[in-house]
Chains A and B, each alone.
Chain A
Amino acid sequence: MIDLTLLADGGLGWLDASGPDSHLVLSTRIRLARNLAGRVFVSRSSESEREAVVRDVQAAAGDTVLLRQAARFRLDRLEPLERHLLHERHLVSRDLAGLGAEGRTRSGAALLMQDRVGVMLNEEDHLRLQALASGFALEAAYASLDRVDTELGQRLAFAFHPEFGYLTSCPTNVGTGLRASVLIHLPGLVLTKEISKVLQGLSQVGLTFRGLYGEGSEVVGNFFQLSNQTTLGQTEAELLDHLGKVVRQVMDYEEQARQVLLRNAPAIIEDKVWRAYGLLRYARAVSFDEAMNLLSGVRLGVGVGLIPGVSIYTLNKLLIHAQPAHLAAAEGLALDDSDLPIHRAHLVRRVLEDDTGRSR
């Protein structure tokens, strides 16, 4: 089994709920797409060319301050369960983890990670630099990413066009190569049925949304990843500023929706969040989707002050450890073991019991 203790906080520092607005925003992530000049893009590259990318970037990283002690993971040499684990921690994309239909990783698929900054190698682009931050923290995440980008850019030759900017395999990423996403919990807007309007509004202001696991993933547990749609024609600061303003507004809408619910239907909301809590405290088998939806209810209850004694950090931890690969790894089971829902229910019961035990 891979050693995730090689990573600071097991690579989970981003969910410690220490960042700004953690009751609504789980995490902020920013990535920069970069390619090496003079090398064909990953989609047309050979095995040896991808190895050369790994070699070049590792050598460059070893010479930097910010990545010199980076933990290295060769995704192409890991077992499926291990790759699932990294993906469930949001450290690698679905594509890099080889969790698509063919279930195989590309040779040369690798991850370098130090503190909360990492580089995915041989993803769609040669390099996908990424920074993770707890809560709503666009500036902080970008600041750390920008420094790594500068350090690597001085030691490598990135493909850059005087007019188009950073060149990427897919033209939708060209220019800054920057995609910033804010993972936000919006149960109030879902319950008041305002969410469709908000999501439709996003596309009108150049933003888009995805589910919990990024590109192409489903929305579970009322978590939405809001991110910029375009990458060209605006500066990095403008892109981040715009996204930040819209997220701020969505947060306001969410708070308003919660107030409306509490004012107009206090008994219903109270019943709903306690019911979710009760199920999690006493159920004996819970599927992942059900767990996510119930945890969403409890998170709402904690957010509006109805459920005391449960911390957001505890809920964040459950979000990670109740996932299939995490459960399977912890229990020594296979990913498709039919007893996972039973183990999940046990884990959730135990963790929630601990939390309430401490507070009383």
Chain B
Amino acid sequence: MQCEQCHEREAVVHLTQIVDEQVTTVHLCERCAAEKGVEGAGPPAKTPLGDFLAAIGKGQLGVPVGTVELMRCTTCGASLQDFRETGRLGCADCYRTFELQMRDLLRRVHGSTHHVGERYVRRGSAPVTAERAQDDLREQLRLAVETENFELAAEIRDRLRVVE
């Protein structure tokens, strides 16, 4: 998004104001915002990581600068520099590669590093037992009935009858 003041630089400050009894959001680049005396007001920009990103890998997080800069994720090839520029990680393994930095970042952003919500249990690669196949079908039947997909429910019921 372009700055609405100079139409030159990327807008990073999104300021919500009330003009004429209407709420409008003004999008400004850092310089124009500073000229208007605005400091990062309004809703967060696309990457609400601004300050956190700046701090990452700059020796402020307990790791000497040189080592961190050289680190690359062996799976996707992403570096901390890439992350700092885009605010996006390259793959799930980046969380292991840059664990120290991520832990610190998560603590600052979320106030926690511990997921306490639903735990994902991936269905194992163990062979499908007859019992589990039946359980799966029963679960599908329950969902089909719940969502009033009666045609599908009848079909699943037939399949259950065969395996039971």
Contacts and interface: CB of A to CB of B under 8 A. Distances in A.
A164 B43 contact: no
A293 B19 CA distance: 12
Interface residues on A, range: 35 or more
> 8 closest Cβ contacts across the A-B interface?
A165-B115, A233-B112, A232-B110, A159-B92, A160-B120, A176-B117, A65-B143, A44-B90
B78 interface: yes
Interface of B is mostly: loop
Nearest to B146: A147
A230 B25 contact: no
B23 interface: yes
Interface stretch (A81-89, A150-158, A303-311, A331-339): A150-158
Contacts of A195: 18, 23
Interface of B: 1-2, 14, 16, 18, 21-25, 43-49, 75-78, 86-92, 95, 102, 105-106, 109-120, 122-123, 136, 140, 143-144, 147, 149, 152
A222 B25 CA distance: 11
B143 A176 contact: no
A208 B115 contact: no
Contacts of A163: 113-115
A181 B110 CA distance: 18
A55 B91 CA distance: 19
Interface in A148-183: 151, 153-155, 157-161, 163-167, 169-172, 174-176, 178
Given A171-B109, A208-B44, A40 B91 contact: yes
25 contacts: A40-B90, A41-B88, A41-B89, A44-B78, A65-B144, A151-B143, A155-B123, A158-B120, A160-B119, A160-B120, A161-B92, A165-B117, A170-B87, A170-B89, A171-B106, A172-B48, A174-B110, A208-B43, A210-B43, A216-B14, A217-B25, A222-B22, A232-B113, A233-B112, A234-B116
Contacts of B115: 161, 163-166, 174-176, 232-233
A175 B44 CA distance: 20
Interface in A199-257: 199, 208-211, 215-219, 222, 229-236, 239
A154 B123 contact: yes
A209 B43 contact: yes
A216 B45 contact: yes
Nearest to B111: A233
Given A154-B136, A166-B120, A172-B49, 5 more contacts: A166-B115, A169-B88, A233-B112, A233-B115, A235-B116
Contacts of B47: 170, 172
Nearest to A35: B92
Given A172-B109, A219-B16, A40 B24 contact: no
A260 interface: no
A66 B86 CA distance: 35
Given A172-B109, A230-B109, A218 B118 contact: no
B23 A161 contact: no
A267 to B, nearest CB: 16
Contacts of A65: 140, 143-144, 147, 149, 152
Contacts of B136: 154
B143 A219 contact: no
A48 interface: no
